[in-house]
Amino acid sequence: MNLDLLKKAKLLYIEDDKEVVGNITKTLNIFFEEIHTAYNGKDALELFDKERFSIVITDIDLPHINGVEIIKNIRLKNLEIPIIVTTSYDDKETLKSLIPLGITEFILKPLSFPKLSQSFKSALNILERTNQIYLTFPNGTVYDSIKNLIINSKNPAKLTKKEQILLKILYEKRNSIVTYEALENQIWDDLGEHRESLKTYISNVRKIVGKESIENIQDLGYKLIT
């Protein structure tokens, strides 16, 4: 299994011990280029709501909100994201209570490269099985959601940088409406009016992924249909 696929994935690491974070992050950087760290449960859930992560690693004993409650909260919003649990002690009852929540792996501390590597293989298997890496559109175009690239298309046209950003935003909010204003604010740095340019970018992306895959919700925004 090619763990290099995780390089562009976004990891949320939840751990209250800053010394542990400092040591383990060096190992995590081997697998991931983008790592977001939270030192307590409250910050972790706020981060999860703001960003779209590919994998979550969480400790059980955390300030404010413990790991069990974090996982329950995450599962209310996302049933498929791989969740790896780390713990300092072998609490069989706590671990047993997490099984129905679809935990990917349990790792007993201290963490090590072999333990993490095995866990990431399991996580990658879930990402591939649930189509969280590659999305195939009805017209046959394949989108690599982690690298944010079109890797197979009958249309030879390539996406511009802003069109790549547009597709990534729509993918991360797939099957939900993304307002015109939200798209403009994330694609452009200034506060100018970009509605016509946005329409052009949408048209260009549709030529590659298929017109039916991006729905225009009148007076509101756009929705990527998957």
Tens-digit pLDDT string for the chain (226 aa): 678 878 888 999 999 999 999 999 999 999 999 999 999 999 999 999 988 899 999 999 999 999 999 999 999 988 889 999 998 877 777 778 888 899 999 998 899 999 999 999 999 989 888 777 788 888 888 888 877 788 877 776 788 999 999 998 998 888 889 999 999 999 998 777 899 999 999 999 999 999 999 999 998 999 999 8
Q: How far is Cα 10 from Cα 53, in angstroms, rounded to an integer?
A: 5
User: How many CB atoms sit inside 10 A of residue 38's CB?
Assistant: 22
Number of domains in the chain: 2
pTM score of the predicted model:
0.72
Q: How far is Cα 156 from Cα 141, in angstroms, rounded to an integer?
A: 11
Q: Are residues 195 and 217 in the same domain?
A: yes
Q: Are residues 51 and 111 in the same domain?
A: yes
Domain interval for residue 218: 134-224
Q: Which of 129, 145, 169 is the last residue of a domain?
A: 129
Q: Are residues 148 and 195 in the same domain?
A: yes
Q: Are residues 177 and 219 in the same domain?
A: yes
Q: Are residues 140 and 171 in the same domain?
A: yes
Q: Which of 83, 112, 129 is the last residue of a domain?
A: 129
Q: Are residues 142 and 185 in the same domain?
A: yes
Q: Are residues 31 and 142 in the same domain?
A: no
Q: Are residues 159 and 125 in the same domain?
A: no
Name the burial class of residue 92, with classes exposed (0-12), middle (13-18) and buried (19+) by CB atoms within 10 angstroms of its CB: exposed
